[in-house]
Structure 1
Amino acid sequence: MRALTLVVAVLLLGGCAALDFVPGAGGTSTVVGESDDFIVVVATHDGETAEALARTHLRDPAKAWMIEDFNGAREFKSGKRVVIPKRPWNLAGVDPTGYQLVPILVYHNLGAQSSGRLVLGVQAFAEQMNYLKREGYRVVSLAEFVEWLRLKRQLPRKSVVLTFDDGYQSFREYAYPVLKKLGFPATLFVYTDYVGASRNALSWEQLKGLAAEGFDVQAHSKTHGDLRRAPGETDAQYAKRMQAELAEPPRLFQRQLGQGVQFLAYPYGRVDDDLLTRVREQGYAAAFTVRRESNPSFARPLRISRSQIYSEMTLEQFARNLNLFHHETLR
């Protein structure tokens, strides 16, 4: 709101060097000023939406989140001044009251009914996804999240990332229809020994089809074994095992899917400093644990946190994993 007040104040004070006055109609809003960074409009009817303003003034309704985040509202009353950012204004998501967090959720198996902690029933899954949509969360891709860590893009304040581990056939049967209907991206972390290994596992051909439809497929090691050095394992033995676990999946991905691998999900979320060094040497751009917390823009790229979603969680418990902001007075 401070940024909104500042921009409007410049306009009202006649800061013509910053904002040119260009009165005129903009669909259901009137443009009253524009600079290289902002457009200021006045809504001409109650219920004017950020999506409609983004479609009219930014030529892209998907950028509605920029208007929502900058103005702190999704709809506007008649006569309300609305600032429309033309470009990112806070790449790191940091302001004087704290900093933005992005939760990454991790699912495993899905089923017609919940069964055990890691098999979530499709009805509960659909309820969770519809909750995200209804409450205005923006599901972003893992690649977009990593670009945010590199300060190469700004993310919506209510961003969330969806990931699915192991490579179960149930993703295609149960998750895919829900995600496609809602337009949500997702990343599948698969361990290569499991691909096509049983009727419950996705095949390379199915993974290739999912990738062609925009779903991201990344590495979860070769065998899903603990990647930390085992007790009594020699340097030579560990180096050989890590060569198979970390170097073989990218080669298989290239051969089977025609794409490389950027990201790794640690099996069981387990990682130590020795493993970090080897993951870095293999060229992975980001790697993911299952530490239950959301991530700031300054998160360590090889220790990114994810929150596991269990079948026994109520919708209220699910929502507790969606921590979006850390409040702290920053000076």
Structure 2
Amino acid sequence: MLTRFIFCLLALCCAGYAGASLLSSHAIPAQYMQTTEDADIWAQVGDKVISVGTVQEGQILAVVPTAADYYEFRFGFGTGFIDKAHLGPVAGKQRVEDRLGDLNKPLSNQNLVTFRDVQVYNAPSSGSAPFGTLAENLRYPVIARLKDRLNQTWFQIRIGNRLGYVSSLDAQQDNGIPVLTYHHILRDEENTRFRHTSTTTSVVAFSNQMTWLRDRGYTTLSMYQLEGYVRNRMNLPARSVVITFDDGLKSVYRYAYPILKKYGFKATSFIISSRIKRHPQQWNPKALQFMSLSELQASQDVFDVQSHTHFLHRIDGYRRPILLSRSYHNVLFDFEHSRRALAQFNPHVLYLSYPFGGYDDKAVKAANDAGFHMAVTTVRGKVKPGDNPFLLKRLYILRTDSLETMSRLITNQPES
């Protein structure tokens, strides 16, 4: 039965199941049931359905019946699944003792992250009865942080309409998802013109950085998934990163694309739509060349095409982004033009990268009015739940940065 259960969940995921479930319907009310043995629980995390922990024997959960071999219950920002064989009627006159006020309390803009399997308790005390476990490599939404009588911090969470507590000694506070920024990539031996520009990365450095991410089990997220994170709508792994490329340069297709494809990584390519070439150009490492129609189409198994404006990727006589001196209507027209021009590659052009990181209130309003869902800047930092979706921060990993520097930037450390 377990094999069939897992197969059903994987089928849901492959069919594009993204958290919509019976839990969102009021037609079938949730009912409390009790685990008859220790039970594995599953949920969609990112774009995969995975094992996310266990619930111990004798615990009570609010579940929704389905026609399949599993029940559904609330897990994080989405839906969890538990095999029906592990649940039965609540024994005797037991009832859930959780305070209704806490269960109705909205989630905070805060998560915990797990880097190993961690114990979940029924009360904020390691001496209380265990509820179950959360698996390693999860982000999980927090309702509140509490202190016990020994001044130890506990994360209060919600699973299946039950309150659970995780010690801060076992899990960390989520300090945000890194969004990495790249532009130009060249081999050292051919880089005679751009060696001293911070936006040019060597092929060796980029390959080493992607290998570092792969070896440490990082998941590469789409901007759509990052939006789910910012808006508290989606369960994501603890080890997550977003990889972005600005401009749409040919060097990215030539060098970054095969490396990313080899590792099964996804990335976002913010394209200047007016600079797309009709035909591929002959390679010239001394020039800034842009991808062609066919190169953009051929790399869509790795790159999600999004907007870097149409004609606004220029600077004025004072070396300021020209976007800052244009009227609201000019900026709005350009943003809308870019979305239309890129629709041939992606019907969902919903994300924007401001040229040269330049933005003002006018640009933010135009981005929203043009139909974008989020926009990224060049302001240094990680993205956190509740951030302004049109002012998202990013990180640069330079060609000269060591992997130790990369580790400090990317791992779940507080920002200095």
TM-score, length basis structure 1: 0.69
Specify the alignment match of 1:251 in structure 2. Answer: 340
Asked whether the equivalents of residues 265 and 288 of structure 1 are also in contact (C-alpha less than 8 Å), the reply is yes
Alignment of 1:302-313 (within 5 A): 302-313=390-401
- CA apart distance, 1:37: 8.8
2:361 to 261, 273, 288: 273
Q: 1:326 to 1:245 in 2, by over 3 A?
A: same
Distance in 2 (CA, whole Å) between partners of 1:258 and 1:89 is: 29
Asked whether the equivalents of residues 191 and 221 of structure 1 are also in contact (C-alpha less than 8 Å), the reply is yes
Specify the alignment match of 1:21 in structure 2. Answer: 37
Distance in 1 (CA, whole Å) between partners of 2:368 and 2:55 is: 50
Q: 1:92 to 1:188 in 2, by over 3 A?
A: farther
Distance in 2 (CA, whole Å) between partners of 1:301 and 1:207 is: 26
Asked whether the equivalents of residues 265 and 287 of structure 1 are also in contact (C-alpha less than 8 Å), the reply is yes
Specify the alignment match of 1:229 in structure 2. Answer: 324
Q: 1:288 to 1:310 in 2, by over 3 A?
A: same
- CA apart distance, 1:70: 6.2
Residue 377 (structure 2) pairs with residue 286 (structure 1): no
- CA apart distance, 1:173: 1.3
1:90 to 134, 140, 144: 140
Q: CA RMSD in A?
A: 3.5
Distance in 2 (CA, whole Å) between partners of 1:129 and 1:320 is: 15
Which piece of structure 1 moves more, 192-201 or 163-172? 192-201
Distance in 1 (CA, whole Å) between partners of 2:115 and 2:144 is: 13
Residue 118 (structure 2) pairs with residue 118 (structure 1): no
Aligned length: 265
Name the aligned partner's letter for residue 90 of structure 1.
Y
Alignment of 1:304-323 (within 5 A): 304-323=392-411
Higher relative contact order (CA 8 A, sep 6+): 1
Asked whether the equivalents of residues 102 and 159 of structure 1 are also in contact (C-alpha less than 8 Å), the reply is yes
Q: 1:206 aligns to what SS in structure 2?
A: helix
Alignment of 1:174-185 (within 5 A): 174-185=255-266
Distance in 2 (CA, whole Å) between partners of 1:105 and 1:161 is: 6
Specify the alignment match of 1:10 in structure 2. Answer: none
% identity of equivalent residues:
25
Q: Deviations over 1:174-205 (max 9, x none)?
A: 11111111111100001112211883211122
- CA apart distance, 1:31: 10
Residue 215 (structure 2) pairs with residue 150 (structure 1): no
Specify the alignment match of 1:107 in structure 2. Answer: 182
Distance in 1 (CA, whole Å) between partners of 2:260 and 2:294 is: 20
* Structure 1 portions without partners, runs of 5+: 1-15, 25-29, 39-56, 59-65, 74-81, 231-236
Name the aligned partner's letter for residue 235 of structure 2.
Q
Which structure shows the bigger proportion of residues in helix conformation? Answer: 1
- CA apart distance, 1:221: 0.7
- CA apart distance, 1:209: 2.3
Alignment of 1:195-234 (within 5 A): 195-196=276-277, 199=281, 200-211=289-300, 213-223=301-311, 224-225=313-314, 226=321, 228-230=323-325
* Structure 2 portions without partners, runs of 5+: 1-31, 41-53, 64-81, 84-111, 120-131, 146-154, 156-167, 282-288, 315-320
Q: 1:23 to 1:69 in 2, by over 3 A?
A: closer
Q: Deviations over 1:132-173 (max 9, x none)?
A: 122232222221111111222121112111001100111111
- CA apart distance, 1:263: 0.2
Which structure has the larger Rg?
A: 2
- CA apart distance, 1:286: 0.3
Asked whether the equivalents of residues 140 and 160 of structure 1 are also in contact (C-alpha less than 8 Å), the reply is yes
